[in-house]
Structure 1
Amino acid sequence: MYSNMRTILLSSILLITSVLADYDSTCSNNVVTYWGQNSWGGGHLNEPDNWEKPLASYCQDSTFDIINISFLTNFNLTGLPVLNHAFHCETVFNGTNTLHCPDIGKDIKTCQASGKKIVLSLGGGNIYTYGLSSDADGKSFADTVWNMFLGGSAEYRPYDDAVLDGVDLDIESGEHTGYPAFINQLRSHFQGASKQYIISTAPQCVYPDANLGSTLSSGAWIDNDYVQFYNNPCNLANIDSKWNFDYASWDKLTSANSNPNSKMYVGLPAGTGAAGNGYLDLSTLQTDLTKLYTSYPSTFGGIMLWDASWYTNNQEYVQKLSSWVKSNMKCGSTPSSTDTSSSSITSTIASTSSATSSTTETSTSSAPATASSPPAYTTVTSL
């Protein structure tokens, strides 16, 4: 009886440890998602019960390690930058267009207490008013971001005293100037900070990305590259096509930045309608991800999934995929090229969606959608 109770207690401790394990930047099995745009809801306006859940809802188990809050959408205007979080937050500071989201701030701290990294994503796929016109603008904007969202202080902090874990650049329009200077200035603020911050990018897979390519090739410090292997002919479904799929070039670019430990993540849609193409059944993903992991073990960081709202409506698929990645892409081990899986995942949950062909780089955004009934939200943006 004592032995059985001891076994049960040990199993429970191991389970809790797994659930609350901290993000480890050296591992190859991290799973990232984006939260805040309710992209599933954009196509299901009359089904609010299935819309994206509050941020803390996605921090209750080990499915995700990093959650990028999307998006800071306007930041080249005079005045304060502007956020868009769909229906999650619509209250602004008096006299401004900047959201004040104390409930999201509380959720940020809840998630961080569970070992998750919560990062602010800048930009987005729809055409917003953002961009930097000079290096001086980049430095000044870095100071603003540090003070409003990270370890600094400001009159207006959208998430109150919550301190985010870094910044993600999902730049898909606007000028391309100033982002290396922005990164360098942020890193000057990070020196001596009490926490380790993350700087990440989310380029589209067409190489080199038209919007982030110059930043990535500048040598600026990048921790994680979440390459969007969907919505373009270079999506993961074309992994065996040397003309379309070019993981090797992205790997070289990741390895060339000033961070010797930079990681590259395979960006994937989390549901059939989350992207125009690139959604694959689990069995195919298992095979394809194993190929990439075994070929590029030193830079492979894990996967990125767009987005949390699709996880809500495709939960079994995402949980099985996350569990498989965490079981097969280990920390600190060298994979064997013949080891395809230590635990299989079924391919019957969802079938591969039909691919959409294109010869030019395609925006990752879907058309803006506006809710016609409460709870209203302004614009749904997709990565």
Structure 2
Amino acid sequence: MSSSSSISRNVVAALALVTQATARLALDSSSNVAVYWGQNSINQASGPNAQQRLVDYCANTNIDVIPLAFLYEMTTGTGGEPVINFANQASDCQIFAGTNLLDCPTIGADITTCQQQYGKTILLSIGGATYTEGGFTSSAQAISMADHLWELFGPVAGGTPTTTSTSSKSSSSTTTTTSSTSSTSSTTSALSTPTSTSSPFTSSSGFISSTSRSGKTTSEPSTSTSLSTLLLTRTVPVTTFSTRLTTLFFTATLTSIPSSIFASPTTTTTPSPLLNDTLTLPSYVNSTFTNATISNTTITNSTINNSIITNSTINNSVFINSTITNSIFINSTIINPQILDSTLAKRQSAVLRPFGSAAIDGFDLDIEAVATNMVPFAQRLRELMDADTSKQRYLTAAPQCVYPDVANSALLSSTVHLDAIFVQFYNNPCGVQAFVPGAATQEAFNFAAWDTWAKTVSANPAIKVLLGVPGGPSAAGLGYVDASTLAGIISYCKGFSSFGGVMMWDASQALANGGFLADVKSALVGSATKMMIRGMSWR
């Protein structure tokens, strides 16, 4: 015979399977479970209890929300980029050249699976106990960083590429080659790893430099054979446009590395030549392409060596390479942005996306020391997320239970609309360990104070307050209680309309702690579980 606890867990699992498609941060619910992932606080390098891939926790039906911990540097990161850390799960990540910013395509793929297959809400948590920058020097700096983080972790502007590119901040060019013979031509698209220079064009030496994620640089002559051998990573369809230049035929395949596959590319105000050879084109030969020019080109003895096509825009495309051979064809090989290979989705404007095309569902502010200008920072994040109508996005905070929380007092008393707060009821005298069972008025355990804040101070009077607890005995220095004790505390908290569920630190601890997670979910769903148990007993 099964125990009532195991029956409850089974019922909770059944309920979760029924509602899995809609599992998320539910702002009208008191049964949310948010579990932080990323720091492997159980501190095991390997084995079943060590922190696993993100998607493994998303598959757990007792979890609704996963904040990724942490982004812990914003203003002091190398190369002006923020810094994220995911402990043992960073082993599959690379580092963008010239920065300390991780490039994590596996985590990006997991985020998408978590959202689309399991219906989870994925937040990026900023701060943590090791955050020491102290905020921002000005509101302008705070707003600028909010904009930048939205570019890095929000939805891809203008489109949704499917994979992560591996460029460095200053390296986002595409190299292409063309081979022509006699009156026919063949075109090969060789997509390089990003070059180490800021120019998207072939260097004057005729060599192409490529930089890998490890920063290693190699050089090869810019010939069709060597480039195809060295750089060919994808072959994609091309679109060809032709126009007659009096006696010559101009055949162009258009390409750019725009900020997204649907956006116009970035162009310079001063066109940059592709090659150094400067020749003279007869005045009677004119291009019929709007905004396209061929200049400084000479036709001599029917042998045309190198042509320059300026960095001009045609139909949201940019010419980046051109070769004229011993024929009547001028061939320019580039990729149409509408069919741009997804691995080239990194922006020409040097936006480095750690999770590729994956976009988080919002931000969590886990600021545990005094930080300046967090209000304009949070307000800007709120504005950016609200402007995106594609889906609901969330802004949360994770204050200590001591009220008022000094580190977050400005934010929590501001006009910034927060959706939920994950109050840390541990490592403090106001934590869950101070709860007195059966006492209508709690002297030390102060969930009531946070309920009052939610209703009278918060800019969002409907905000949800989640009860933050350690997920296991070693997850915190103070505040762990077993699931049975926690069930009584949850029952007490349900008496407050602001109660939104339970937050746990962290995933590695909670999953290693037997049935703790399932028992907590069972205590949260409460009446629904009892109804199903009654229904089962009638059969």
TM-score, normalised relative to structure 1? 0.77
**CA displacement at 1:18 relative to structure 2:** 2.9
- Report the structure, 1 or 2, having the larger helix content: 1
Look up the match of 1:172. 368
**CA displacement at 1:271 relative to structure 2:** 0.2
Are 2:300 and 1:101 aligned? no
Look up the match of 1:288. 489
SS of 2:509's equivalent in the other structure is: helix
**CA displacement at 1:192 relative to structure 2:** 4.2
Closer, same or farther: CA 202–14 of 1 in aligned 2, 3 Å = closer
Look up the match of 1:142. 146
Look up the match of 1:32. 34
Distance in 1 between residues matched to 2:393 and 2:96, nearest whole Å = 27
**CA displacement at 1:13 relative to structure 2:** 9.3
1:19 and 1:60 in contact (8 A); partners too: no
One-letter amino acid of the structure 1 residue matched with residue 358 of structure 2:
A
One-letter amino acid of the structure 1 residue matched with residue 485 of structure 2:
T
Distance in 1 between residues matched to 2:500 and 2:138, nearest whole Å = 32
Distance in 1 between residues matched to 2:150 and 2:27, nearest whole Å = 22
Are 2:410 and 1:214 aligned? yes
1:74 and 1:130 in contact (8 A); partners too: no
1:293 and 1:329 in contact (8 A); partners too: no
Look up the match of 2:356. 160
Are 2:260 and 1:258 aligned? no
Q: Which runs of 5+ in 1 are unaligned?
A: 1-11, 331-340, 345-383
User: Once the two structures are superposed, what CA deviation does each residue of 1:282-305 show, in whole Å capped at 9, x if it has no partner?
Assistant: 2221111111112x12x1110000
User: Once the two structures are superposed, what CA deviation does each residue of 1:58-101 show, in whole Å capped at 9, x if it has no partner?
Assistant: 11132111000010010122601110111212421122110000
Q: Which moved more, 1:122-131 or 1:12-21?
A: 12-21
Distance in 1 between residues matched to 2:23 and 2:133, nearest whole Å = 35
Closer, same or farther: CA 49–246 of 1 in aligned 2, 3 Å = closer
SS of 2:112's equivalent in the other structure is: helix
2:16 and 2:62 in contact (8 A); partners too: no
Higher relative contact order, chain-length normalized (CA < 8 Å, sep 6+): 1
Are 2:449 and 1:249 aligned? yes
Q: Which moved more, 1:102-111 or 1:119-128?
A: 119-128
Distance in 2 between residues matched to 1:239 and 1:303, nearest whole Å = 15
Please give the residue correspondences for 1:206-355 in structure 2 after superposition, counting only pairs within 5 Å: 206-240=402-436, 242-255=442-455, 256-294=457-495, 296-297=496-497, 299-328=498-527
Please give the residue correspondences for 1:4-23 in structure 2 after superposition, counting only pairs within 5 Å: 16-23=17-24
One-letter amino acid of the structure 1 residue matched with residue 110 of structure 2:
D
Are 2:126 and 1:122 aligned? yes
SS of 1:168's equivalent in the other structure is: strand
Look up the match of 2:400. 204
Q: Which moved more, 1:306-315 or 1:156-165?
A: 306-315
Distance in 2 between residues matched to 1:69 and 1:75, nearest whole Å = 16
- Report the structure, 1 or 2, having the larger strand content: 2
Closer, same or farther: CA 242–260 of 1 in aligned 2, 3 Å = closer
One-letter amino acid of the structure 1 residue matched with residue 122 of structure 2:
I
Distance in 2 between residues matched to 1:198 and 1:262, nearest whole Å = 11
Distance in 2 between residues matched to 1:149 and 1:253, nearest whole Å = 30
One-letter amino acid of the structure 2 residue matched with residue 197 of structure 1:
R
Look up the match of 2:55. 56
Are 2:378 and 1:183 aligned? yes
- Root-mean-square deviation (Å): 2.3
Distance in 1 between residues matched to 2:520 and 2:431, nearest whole Å = 18
Distance in 2 between residues matched to 1:322 and 1:261, nearest whole Å = 22
Closer, same or farther: CA 215–15 of 1 in aligned 2, 3 Å = closer
1:30 and 1:326 in contact (8 A); partners too: no
SS of 2:96's equivalent in the other structure is: coil
SS of 1:71's equivalent in the other structure is: strand
One-letter amino acid of the structure 2 residue matched with residue 166 of structure 1:
G
Closer, same or farther: CA 50–291 of 1 in aligned 2, 3 Å = closer
Aligned residues: 317
2:72 and 2:130 in contact (8 A); partners too: no
Distance in 1 between residues matched to 2:420 and 2:14, nearest whole Å = 31
Closer, same or farther: CA 217–14 of 1 in aligned 2, 3 Å = closer
The structure whose Rg is larger is 2
SS of 1:69's equivalent in the other structure is: strand
Distance in 1 between residues matched to 2:14 and 2:397, nearest whole Å = 35
2:131 and 2:367 in contact (8 A); partners too: no
**CA displacement at 1:268 relative to structure 2:** 0.3
Closer, same or farther: CA 49–289 of 1 in aligned 2, 3 Å = closer
**CA displacement at 1:133 relative to structure 2:** 2.4
Closer, same or farther: CA 280–102 of 1 in aligned 2, 3 Å = same
**CA displacement at 1:323 relative to structure 2:** 2.5
Distance in 2 between residues matched to 1:185 and 1:81, nearest whole Å = 17
SS of 1:119's equivalent in the other structure is: strand
Distance in 2 between residues matched to 1:254 and 1:75, nearest whole Å = 29
Q: Which runs of 5+ in 2 are unaligned?
A: 1-12, 158-346, 534-539
TM-score, normalised relative to structure 2? 0.56
2:30 and 2:500 in contact (8 A); partners too: yes
